[in-house]
Amino acid sequence: SQQGEEDPQALSIQEGENATMNCSYKTSINNLQWYRQNSGRGLVHLILIRSNEREKHSGRLRVTLDTSKKSSSLLITASRAADTASYFCATDAYTGNQFYFGTGTSLTVIP
């Protein structure tokens, strides 16, 4: 399987705290993307980081990418209850068109 892995599988924090999720993948990539999914709903695209980038910011989101370790992290600062969702990384492989998702992190932000 080319599916990546994420940790932790589940994370529960208090509102206002920061949340960090990690993603590891297996193949060479063009880019890596992070998505959010609320329970039973579709995917919401959060941020894309290209293979030649090391860090990217978008609002309260900060993503890092280490291609030598084949890993990425997503940091959500000053979390809110509305951030409660599952978060997935997805890799856009260097060869082929396929997109492979990580196993996901379920984040719960307690008000």
Spatial separation of the C-alpha atoms in residues 23 and 73, rounded to whole Å: 6
The window from 18-26, 53-61, 65-73, 90-98 that contacts another protein (CB under 8 A) reads: 90-98
CB 46 within 8 A of CB 61: yes
Find, among 15, 16, 36, the residue nearest to 109 by Cα: 15
**Pattern of binders to another protein over 27-66, x per CB under 8 A?**
---xx-x-x----xxxx-x--x------------------
Q: How many CB atoms lie within 10 A of CB 50?
A: 13
Residue 91 lies near another protein (rule: CB under 8 A) = no
| Residues in touch with another protein (CB under 8 A) | 3, 30-31, 33, 35, 40-43, 45, 48, 88, 90, 92, 97-104, 106
